[in-house]
């Protein structure tokens, strides 16, 4: 089984017909979403799980300059230290900072 794109809308789908399209007949259950993600990850050669999407979203928001407090609220973190971990991992965004500001 492999991941393919839906021909009509481009939504990710499995060859078996499980789709992330809004036009699906029934809502996608958490179990079926996890199954879909696991299979697509396997097809891409990575071990994927739903929490990776949450982390990816957090890293993307930090790297595009979204305020840390806004990210904290969006992700539902009670403690800001949990959100700040996303800022520690990407040193690339700080390259040249001293040259630009000095």
64 pLDDT higher than 70: yes
Q: What are phi and psi of 22, to 5 degrees?
A: -65, -20
- What percent of the chain clears pLDDT 70, i.e. is strictly above it? 62
35 pLDDT higher than 70: yes
Residues 42 and 55 in one domain: no
If phi over 0 gives left and psi between -120 and 50 gives alpha, with beta otherwise, what is residue 89?
alpha
Q: Which domain holds residue 12?
A: 3-48
Mean pLDDT of 82-100: 68
pTM: 0.55
Number of domains present in the structure of the chain: 2
Residues 60 and 85 in one domain: yes
Residues 16 and 36 in one domain: yes
Q: What is the DSSP string of 24-81?
A: -SSPPPHHHHHHHHHHHHHHHTS---HHHHHHHHHHHHHHTT--HHHHHHHHT-SSHH
Confidence (pLDDT) at 78 = 93
Residues 6+ apart with CB under 8 A from 37: 48, 49, 50, 53
């Amino acid at each position: 089984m492999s991941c393919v794109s839906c021909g009509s809308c481009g939504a990710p789908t499995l060859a078996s017909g499980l789709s992330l399209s809004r036009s699906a007949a029934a809502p996608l259950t958490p179990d079926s979403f996890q199954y879909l993600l696991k299979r697509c990850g396997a097809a891409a050669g990575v071990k994927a799980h739903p929490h990776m999407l949450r982390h990816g979203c957090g890293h993307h928001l930090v790297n595009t300059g979204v305020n840390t407090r806004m990210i904290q609220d969006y992700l539902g973190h009670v403690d800001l230290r949990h959100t700040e971990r996303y800022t520690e991992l990407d040193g690339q965004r700080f390259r040249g900072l001293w040259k630009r500001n000095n």
